[in-house]
């Protein structure tokens, strides 16, 4: 807002009123922060060393549940008050997480559990500091029965729809609070650039800009526009996993990564920096090892970069048992005490101890008394913890009551989940416009994913690995049930051919009368073949071969040999290679992990009631040894050289990042730049016309890419710099505009500085290109 002093400019009463509201609101926020800081300082002065250290410990719920030991609880769950008093009163433990027995619970059960915990923490301790309870609610409230389960993050990324991501997060925040829980270990802002990794599906995909943009929307949904987490419908978010987690050399979880400082800053850091700037309250640390150093011990990353350079004022929490791992797994500490010293001095504020909290608390107290950890470091950690507790209004309202959340699991919320699933599903191939299918056709539905709610949802659904989904999701439709509802049961033949082994590992499969499935194809007009993966996450999801399994490949090849058109539906957490049979498929549809309404959304797309509009948020590899992102270097994609050494470099993805077909057609034209010579801090306006040239309404994602043609570090071939999703009626044309500055096309140079070097840049939208030059 600009004021003109000494000029003849009238400031209306309305303008003054708006200004006053703005200033009062801003002052209110500042005053609230100052008030909290005053209270925190006063509380810290009262706290003993033991009380401070206790705040830094987090335990899992089973530790304080009635059971044979602290690793499992009896069902139905009930608090062991003696165990709870030992943890919360004697050892002053400040945080609890997770569910008991890896099982979802009702909102009423959650209220009773957390209310019981808070009664002990608040009423039976000297300073009445409430516990902060945390949970992984990564696509809905994982451990709450009846919660709205959304498509997983990778599917949400495929929508390229910012508003949907924010809506899903806002609903998840509401339902998390309905469960009495104020802290959500989400969003996942890791760069999902390695298709081998068992958590790629938990990310927003391979592109730094896409991850950054959708991460900001998710934080806004969780925390609100002004991060007002005292609102009982909002939660504190937790950025995961700082830093460089999803790209280990082996592709396997929690194994070493080798990432240069330049690459860390260029590709991995932007999403976290933007999220910190957006006000996220907490952050979780990478469980792995980067450049030989476990991140939980890396002061350069946790303090120098995160807290000092990025200015993060929030709470830094470990992942599960990761301080212990410094000793037991990584062998950089001589014992548990040494590991605690290393991690806390590196910048850890709270240890997700999980089980053996006594070891953590007793050793950390001793380390401070011995001068090996300064009490100033403890005070800093506790101040950060208390700041989050005050921001969540836990001192005034330690637990929220499920009775105050009438929209929990509502049809309104379920509609949002369906809409996201419908916009995420991505049509990758459609030979001879085989899709949409006619509803009067006789359809064979086959494959291990055809009749499974578990595979539609993925892990972190009612349990950690997703193995309990069928127990909680009986009210929803599998793919085959949705197809039956769409075209009538009499028109559907269901013969899986391959099934997942009950209670087996995710990759264990059995033949399920494959010959009968092939025989059944004779009576079908078309085949919907539902292949992919069973559920997994983290280390249990590691793989040794990116090709789709042998049994599923055999089934696909044999069904294709029948001569009936095969529509391949992929229901998978990561892009498994299908090149052994892809050319025999008439259509390919990527469903990702679309959630409880994914079956219905998929059927609507297959039979034409919904026009697909999803776009790939990653590069789909053709071969296991060709896992290259779209923003690769020029040397990875070369035409054949001249002379004796006439090699080339083959960039050969099965499907490219950003691809996705529609049942209508779009025409791009009239690409214009406001200038071809960008200077200093000027903005460049880019416009393009997009028209729906088909015969039905459709949604399209307009994607803006730039290429730095010459740079001091070998530039990427292109980078996504903007995207917009629009809906167009048949014959409708719209002009879409983007604005970029020199900073938007900057890169991290060899000195790890962000720079925009003078030179020529290419703009690309679809197949249209233009260039501009930049000069300081």
Residue with tokens 């991290």: 748
Helices 208-223 & 162-178, crossing angle to 10 degrees?
A: 40
Strand pairing report for 315-317 and 293-294: unpaired
Task: Look at the alpha carbons of 225, 228, 231, 235 in this order and tell me if their dihedral is positive or negative.
Answer: positive
Q: Which helix (H) or strand (E) holds 510?
A: strand 509-512
Say if residues 95 and 132 touch (Cβ distance below 8 Å): yes
Distance of CA 309 to the CA centre of its chain: 25
Task: Look at the alpha carbons of 111, 117, 121, 122 in this order and tell me if their dihedral is positive or negative.
Answer: positive
Say if residues 546 and 621 touch (Cβ distance below 8 Å): yes
Rg (Cα) of the chain, in Å, rounded? Answer: 27
**Which of 510, 492, 493 is CA-nearest to residue 501?**
510
DSSP conformation letters of 678-699: EETT-EEEEEEEEEE-SSS-EE
Q: Which residues contact 492 (CB under 8 A, 6 or more apart)?
A: 443, 445, 480, 483, 484
SS3 per residue for 91-143: CCCCEEECCCCCCCECHHHHHHHHHHHHHHHHHCCCCCCCCEEEECCCCCCCC
Q: Which residues, listed in sequence order, are joined to residue 213 by a DSSP beta bridge?
A: none
Strand pairing report for 443-446 and 132-135: unpaired
Tokens of 381: 């950690």
Tell me the H-state helices in 370-490: 375-391, 411-424, 453-457, 469-472, 479-487
767 in catalytic set: no
Q: Which helix (H) or strand (E) holds 759?
A: strand 759-765
Phi/psi of residue 289, each to 5°? -125, 125
How far apart CA 160 and CA 182 sit, in angstroms, is 28
**Which of 212, 204, 201 is CA-nearest to residue 157?**
204
Query: DSSP E strands: which ranges in 273-420?
Result: 282-285, 289-290, 293-294, 315-317, 351-354
DSSP 251: S
Apex CA 645: angle with CA 639 and CA 646, to 5°?
30
How far apart CA 575 and CA 204 sit, in angstroms, is 14
Phi/psi of residue 437, each to 5°? -75, 155
Residue with tokens 């498994």: 576
Longest dimension (CA), the chain: 89
Buried b (16+ CB within 10 A) or exposed e, 637-665: eeeeeeeeeeeebeeebbbebbbbbbbbe
Q: Which residues contact 12 (CB under 8 A, 6 or more apart)?
A: none
Distance of CA 95 to the CA centre of its chain: 24
Q: Which residues contact 607 (CB under 8 A, 6 or more apart)?
A: 436, 437, 438, 439, 486, 487
Residue with tokens 């890396």: 298
CB count within 10 Å of CB 322 equals 28
Say if residues 726 and 732 touch (Cβ distance below 8 Å): no
The one catalytic residue among 62, 319, 349, 419: 319
Alpha carbon distances (Å) from 53 to 363, 367, 591, 753: 10, 11, 46, 38
The residues annotated with a catalytic role in the active site are: 319
């Amino acid at each position: 807002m600009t004021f003109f002093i000494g000029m003849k400019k009238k400031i209306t009463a309305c303008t003054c009123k708006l200004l006053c509201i703005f200033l009062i609101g801003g002052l209110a926020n500042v005053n609230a922060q100052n008030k909290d800081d005053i209270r925190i300082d006063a509380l810290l002065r009262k706290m003993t060393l033991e009380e401070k250290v206790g705040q830094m410990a987090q335990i899992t719920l089973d530790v304080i549940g009635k059971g044979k030991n602290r690793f499992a609880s009896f069902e139905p769950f009930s608090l062991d008050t003696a165990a709870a008093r030992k943890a919360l009163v004697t050892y002053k433990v400040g945080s609890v997480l997770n569910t008991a027995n890896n099982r979802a619970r009702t909102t009423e059960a959650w209220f009773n559990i957390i209310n019981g915990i808070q009664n002990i923490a608040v009423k039976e301790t000297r300073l009445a500091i409430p516990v902060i309870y945390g949970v992984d609610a990564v696509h809905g409230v994982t451990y709450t029965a009846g919660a709205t389960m959304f498509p997983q993050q990778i599917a949400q990324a495929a929508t390229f729809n910012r508003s949907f991501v924010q809506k899903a997060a806002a609903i998840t925040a509401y339902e998390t609070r309905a469960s009495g829980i104020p802290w959500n270990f989400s969003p996942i802002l890791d760069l999902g650039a390695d298709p081998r990794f068992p958590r790629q599906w938990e990310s927003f995909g391979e592109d730094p800009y896409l991850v950054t943009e959708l991460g900001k929307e998710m934080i806004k949904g969780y925390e609100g526009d002004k991060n007002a987490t005292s609102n009982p419908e909002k939660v504190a978010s937790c950025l995961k996993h700082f830093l460089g987690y999803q790209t280990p050399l082996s592709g396997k979880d929690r194994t070493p990564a080798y990432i240069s400082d330049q690459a860390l800053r260029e590709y991995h850091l932007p999403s976290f920096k933007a999220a910190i700037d957006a006000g996220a309250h907490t952050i979780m640390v990478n469980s792995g090892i980067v450049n030989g150093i476990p991140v939980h011990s890396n002061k350069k990353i946790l303090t120098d970069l995160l807290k000092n350079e990025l200015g993060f004022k929030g709470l830094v929490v470990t992942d599960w048992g990761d301080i212990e791992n410094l000793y037991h797994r990584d062998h950089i500490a001589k014992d548990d005490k040494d590991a605690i010293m290393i991690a806390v001095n590196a910048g850890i504020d709270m240890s997700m101890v999980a089980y053996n909290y006594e070891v953590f608390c007793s050793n950390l107290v001793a380390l401070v008394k011995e001068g090996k950890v300064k009490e100033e470091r403890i005070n800093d950690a506790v101040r950060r913890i208390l700041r989050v507790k005050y921001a969540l209004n836990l001192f005034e309202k330690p637990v929220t009551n499920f009775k105050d959340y009438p929209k929990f699991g509502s049809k309104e919320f379920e509609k949002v989940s369906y809409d996201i699933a419908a916009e995420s599903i991505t049509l990758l191939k459609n030979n001879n416009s085989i899709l949409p299918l006619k509803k009067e056709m006789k359809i064979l539905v086959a494959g291990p994913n055809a009749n499974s709610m578990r595979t539609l949802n993925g892990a972190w659904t009612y349990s950690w690995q997703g193995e309990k989904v069928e127990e909680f999701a009986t009210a929803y439709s599998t793919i085959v049930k949705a197809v039956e509802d769409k075209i009538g049961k009499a028109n559907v033949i269901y013969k899986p051919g391959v099934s997942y082994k009950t209670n087996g590992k995710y990759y264990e499969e059995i033949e399920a009368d494959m010959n009968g499935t092939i025989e059944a194809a004779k009576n079908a007009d078309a085949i919907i073949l539902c292949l992919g993966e069973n559920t997994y996450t983290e280390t249990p999801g590691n793989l040794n071969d990116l090709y789709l399994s042998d049994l599923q490949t055999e089934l696909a090849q044999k069904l294709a040999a029948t001569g009936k058109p095969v529509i391949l539906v992929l229901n998978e957490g990561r892009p498994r290679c299908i090149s052994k049979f892809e050319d025999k498929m008439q259509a390919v549809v990527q469903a990702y992990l679309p959630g409880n309404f994914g079956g219905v959304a998929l059927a609507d797309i297959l039979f034409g009631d919904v026009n697909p509009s999803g776009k790939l948020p990653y590069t789909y590899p053709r071969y296991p040894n060709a896992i290259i992102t779209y923003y690769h270097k020029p040397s990875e994609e070369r035409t054949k050289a001249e002379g004796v050494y006439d090699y080339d470099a083959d960039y050969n993805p099965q499907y490219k990042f950003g691809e996705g077909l529609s049942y209508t057609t779009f025409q791009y034209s009239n690409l214009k730049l406001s200038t071809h010579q960008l200077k200093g801090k000027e903005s460049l306006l880019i416009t393009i016309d997009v028209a729906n040239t088909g015969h039905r309404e459709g949604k399209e994602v307009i994607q803006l890419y730039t290429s730095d043609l010459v740079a001091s570090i070998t530039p990427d071939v292109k980078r996504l710099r903007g995207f917009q999703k629009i809906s167009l009626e048949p014959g409708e044309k719209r002009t879409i505009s983007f604005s970029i500055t020199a900073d938007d096309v900057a890169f991290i140079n060899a000195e790890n500085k962000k720079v925009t070097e003078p030179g020529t840049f290419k703009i690309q939208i679809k197949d249209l290109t233009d260039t501009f030059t930049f000069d300081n």
